[in-house]
């Protein structure tokens, strides 16, 4: 179907699969014969219960989430997890180690400082976050309550090519911009969290996958909404959840399962990213600053080396229906976010635009 849609390379909110949008449209006024929209439905109704239960079951299936982890649908985005994590986990030594690999990692670290003894275990800031540090157990304090990393750095376009060994300290990972793009061994993590508006659903929800022993340790002074235990005990229904967003997330999970699951999704993602980086590496005009093995397959950052030319690139791309290619306002240049829902044709069209632009701006 042609809806005159553009290819949106925004880092988030970002594109949703067209098939999912069509399904949502078909369900919009009357969800499966209920006579009402999911937007109007009681979150306690049996129809809605089956939506949220199926969403959780499909996510568990996609990521092979072990039984000793809870899946929580929460509000406040990934940003609220920056405070929920220390509030719930900094309860023994009150120490936490953070790895600073970009702006989001830094924001998470700053927030945690309000709650205890936060140490930067490693940082790649001295090299403008163009790489992921090589970390070993010795980089972390043995008695840290947890270690926090940002697995995919949305703004700088880097990604961990490995899962760090943190010894006994639980590893907490912000996966907002890479969740569902690759298989991860969930059992290596204490908590995985993600805002949904990058790779899952419209904005309004964060998903936290929390190992059970990390739940129930928040101090009494913890605000009720910030306590993982409250959400775990109430099946993410302590209060009204972001019903419509969770429903769309559930449709996206079904869509990925129908494609063949995470492995099939990953194969497509890798193919799209490889094309784009291969072209950039072969070009005389563009360069990608992130170290080869640490490059993100979701957020591809590149520059021409000339700020005025970068601006021209972004403006001319927009005229071709390739929108939001500007880099984050803090670093400039270009960034093509090519999440799961970006069709391969979108990447092909971008590369062909880049070739033309290179020819015309020699």
Ligand X SMILES: *Cc1c(COP(=O)(O)O)cnc(C)c1O
Residues near ligand X (CB under 6 A):
12, 77-79, 104, 150, 154, 174, 176-177, 195, 198
Would you list the DSSP string of 53-66?
Answer: HHHHHHHHHHHT--
Nearest to 177 by CA among 303, 321, 9: 9
Shortest reach from residue 25's CB to ligand X, in Å: 25
Shortest reach from residue 71's CB to ligand X, in Å: 17
104 is catalytic: yes
Shortest reach from residue 329's CB to ligand X, in Å: 13
Residue that is written with structure tokens 């129908």 in the block: 258
Tokens at 117, concatenated:
């003894």
Tokens at 355, concatenated:
């070739």
Q: Which of 97, 104, 145, 310 is catalytic?
A: 104
Q: Which of 198, 227, 272, 310 is catalytic?
A: 198
Looking at beta carbons only, is 203 or 222 nearer to ligand X? 203
Would you list the DSSP string of 119-135?
Answer: EEEEE-GGGTT-S----
Looking at beta carbons only, is 88 or 199 nearer to ligand X? 199
Tokens at 265, concatenated:
């999704």
Looking at beta carbons only, is 104 or 255 nearer to ligand X? 104
Tokens at 79, concatenated:
């940003």
Residue that is written with structure tokens 């005009």 in the block: 285
Would strands 7-8 and 322-323 be described as parallel, antiparallel, or unpaired? parallel
Looking at beta carbons only, is 88 or 152 nearer to ligand X? 152
**Residue 99 φ/ψ, nearest 5 degrees:** -105, 125
Residue nearest to ligand X (CB): 77
198 is catalytic: yes
User: What does the alpha-carbon distance between residue 213 and residue 170 come to, in Å, rounded to a whole number?
Assistant: 10
Shortest reach from residue 13's CB to ligand X, in Å: 9
Looking at beta carbons only, is 23 or 79 nearer to ligand X? 79
Q: Which of 174, 227, 269, 310 is catalytic?
A: 174
Shortest reach from residue 290's CB to ligand X, in Å: 15
Catalytic positions: 104, 174, 198
């Amino acid at each position: 179907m042609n809806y005159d849609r553009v290819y949106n390379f925004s880092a988030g909110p970002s594109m949703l699969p067209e098939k999912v949008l069509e399904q949502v449209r078909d369900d919009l006024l009357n969800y499966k014969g209920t006579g009402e929209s999911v937007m109007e439905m009681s979150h306690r109704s049996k129809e809605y219960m089956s939506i949220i239960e199926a969403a959780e079951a499909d996510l568990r299936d996609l990521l092979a989430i072990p039984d000793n982890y809870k899946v929580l649908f929460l509000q406040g985005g990934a940003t609220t997890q920056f405070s929920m994590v220390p509030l719930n986990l900094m309860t023994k030594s009150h120490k936490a180690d953070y790895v600073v690999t970009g702006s989001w990692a830094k924001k998470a670290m700053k927030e945690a400082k309000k709650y205890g003894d936060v140490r930067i275990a490693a940082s790649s800031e001295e090299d403008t976050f163009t790489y992921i540090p090589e970390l070993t157990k010795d980089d972390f304090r043995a008695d840290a309550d947890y270690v926090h990393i940002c697995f995919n750095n949305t703004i700088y376009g880097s990604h961990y090519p490995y899962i760090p060994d943190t010894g006994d300290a639980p590893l907490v990972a912000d996966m907002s911009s890479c969740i569902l793009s690759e298989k991860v061994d969930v059992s290596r993590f204490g908590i995985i969290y993600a805002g949904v508006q990058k790779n899952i659903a419209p904005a309004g929800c964060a998903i936290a996958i929390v190992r059970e022993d990390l739940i129930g340790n928040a101090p009494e002074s913890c605000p009720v909404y910030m306590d993982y235990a409250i959400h775990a005990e109430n099946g993410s229904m302590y209060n009204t959840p972001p019903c419509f967003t969770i429903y769309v997330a559930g449709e996206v999970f079904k869509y990925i399962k129908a494609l063949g699951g995470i492995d099939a999704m990953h194969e497509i993602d890798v193919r799209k990213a490889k094309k784009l980086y291969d072209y950039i590496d072969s070009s005389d005009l563009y360069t990608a600053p992130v170290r080869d093995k640490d490059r993100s397959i979701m957020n591809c950052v590149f520059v021409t080396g000339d700020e005025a030319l970068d601006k021209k690139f972004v403006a001319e791309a927009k005229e071709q229906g390739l929108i939001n290619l500007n880099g984050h306002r803090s670093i400039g240049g270009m960034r093509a976010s090519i999440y799961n829902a970006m069709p391969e044709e979108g990447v092909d069209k971008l590369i062909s635009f880049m070739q033309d632009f290179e020819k015309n701006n020699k």
